[in-house]
Amino acid sequence: TVVAIEPGFSNFHRLQENVLLNNLQHKVIALNLAASATNGELLLIEETGKPGYSGNIVPQHVAMPEMHSYRVVVPQLPLLHLPALFGVPQPTHIKIDVDGNELGVLQGLAGFAAEQMMVEMKRGQEAPLEQWMADNGYDLAQRFVHGARVGKKTGLNMADAWYGLWIKKGLS
């Protein structure tokens, strides 16, 4: 079973379409929410033509930009609570790519031990993520570097990020 979490409305809609098109509705559980360190709500702003863009996430205290196409508030909660709240299986493998809130998502896993985690790391922001992984018993097994290309929709340099494959100590 795959549990796919997507807070953005457009991306969640695409996720559901792809699950159905590929006849995976009995293997994929899609949840429209945001993973975080705490329970609460997250305001998302989705600009026309930019679904999935990290600039869509707007903290509650930030003034709303004028150019938004729509906004939606989604629940946010720690991943640790998913099995009890939604009856989903305890994950053994986790991939985290949340465009800057990776540490918050990891903090929402405190006390839980997945066998493997793949976590996107932004250059210059690795230290707290690497420290969390070490403190929670994970070793970096492999590093995957994005190519030196610029994202077509976002204009972000993809070389500014890399993925780390982390293995729980004692399992490698």
pLDDT by position in tens, the chain (length 172): 899 999 888 889 999 999 999 999 999 999 999 999 999 998 877 765 555 555 555 555 555 556 556 678 899 999 999 999 999 888 899 999 887 889 999 999 888 889 999 999 888 889 999 999 999 999 999 998 866 544 444 455 556 788 999 999 887 5
Token reading at 154: 């976002």
Gap between the Cα atoms of 6 and 77, Å rounded: 12
Gap between the Cα atoms of 126 and 6, Å rounded: 23
Residues 56, 46: contact at Cβ < 8 Å?
yes
List pLDDT tens digits, range 53-95.
Answer: 555 555 555 555 565 566 788 999 999 999 999 998 888 999 9
Residues in CB range of 40: below 8 A, 6 or more apart:
75, 76, 77
The pTM is what?
0.78
Burial code (b: 16+ CB inside 10 Å, e: under 16) for 150-160 equals: eeeeeebeeee
Q: What does the pLDDT read at residue 55?
A: 53
